[in-house]
Structure 1
Amino acid sequence: MSNVNMIGIEIQEAERIAEELNGLLSDLQIFYQNLRGFHWNIQGQGFFDLHQKFEELYNEAAVNIDDVAERILALDAVPFHSFENYLSNSGIQSTTNVHDAETAVMTVVNNLQKLIIKEKEVLSLANEADDEGSATLVSDMIKVHEKTSWMFRAWLK
């Protein structure tokens, strides 16, 4: 019996990576839903710009969610697919009733920080396991999330 899966990753390492990816999937799902709420509920002077930006970000998050779930499947695991799983496995808090720009943007910055930390954890595990697919996936997300974080932090100044 082989100790590697169909894509050449040791089964035990693939399971660990998939577990961490499920945590990332949970974070992305809550991040996505927070962004939807900000998009719908933002009010005030920055409405037009932020309404559009939040839509851009939740569309990007939706793509990331799908990519992470498909990577979990490629690792021979099952992606979480219930809100109960997302809420109990996410390091990001669900946010409701945010209408002002500063609170929304600060929440996005904080959520991005948590995503980046989680992505770097997955990246480290993937690199140790020689899992180029997972490493590339999260590396690309880190680059985008770090830039987005910088832009929102600049907006806050």
Structure 2
Amino acid sequence: MKNLVGLDSEKAEALVVELNILLADYEIFYQNLRGLHWNIKGRKFFELHDKFEELYKDAFEKIDEIAERILTLEGEPLHTYTDYLATTQIKEEKNVSDGTKGVEVVVNNFRTLVEKERHILTIAADTNDEGTVSLMSDYITETEKTLWMLNSYLK
């Protein structure tokens, strides 16, 4: 049986499950970034304050894109923090004000995200879901570059 966009319905449902995990991960990542943006202190305040804002704005866009992809696949995106917290693989961060620690949090969160994006890419390719493949491919490219830059900052 095929769904609205012509994909195998069972495979699309499996993708929806994985995309909802990624959605939950991005929601918690977004909130971690907001907290870092608000609470960062120290000599690198201006630099990191701006960087965390750039990153949370990007995460916000991705959240919407992932939710819309889930809807395109005829799924229902998670939309409560109760569901996000029960589903996410990213840990909530609290009271981080040190710049180096904040960047380490972001690097660790991005590692989780890129691992999940690669997993979804593999499943989407097996499903012949070019829309999700394209989305994940773009995310992976961006995430890898950002990881490289943030890791360079930490050295």
State the Cα RMSD in Å.
0.4
Out of 20, 23, 36, the residue aligned to residue 38 of structure 1 is 36
Residue pairs, 1:88-99, within 5 angstroms: 88-99=86-97
1:85 corresponds to 2:83: yes
Structure 2 runs not aligned, ≥5 long: none
CA distance in 2, matches of 1:126, 1:148: 23
Cα distance, 1:111 vs structure 2: 0.3
- Superposed CA offset, 1:86-125 (max 9, x none): 1111110000100000110000000000000000010000
1:46 aligned partner, one-letter code: K
Residue in structure 2 matched with residue 19 of structure 1 by the alignment: 17
- Superposed CA offset, 1:28-79 (max 9, x none): 0000000000000000000000000000000000000000000000000000
- Superposed CA offset, 1:116-135 (max 9, x none): 00000100000000000011
Cα distance, 1:6 vs structure 2: 0.9
CA distance in 1, matches of 2:77, 2:12: 13
Residue pairs, 1:8-157, within 5 angstroms: 8-157=6-155
Give the TM-score normalised by structure 1.
0.98
Give the TM-score normalised by structure 2.
0.99
CA distance in 1, matches of 2:129, 2:18: 13
Moved over 3 A (4+): none
Percent of aligned positions that are identical: 48
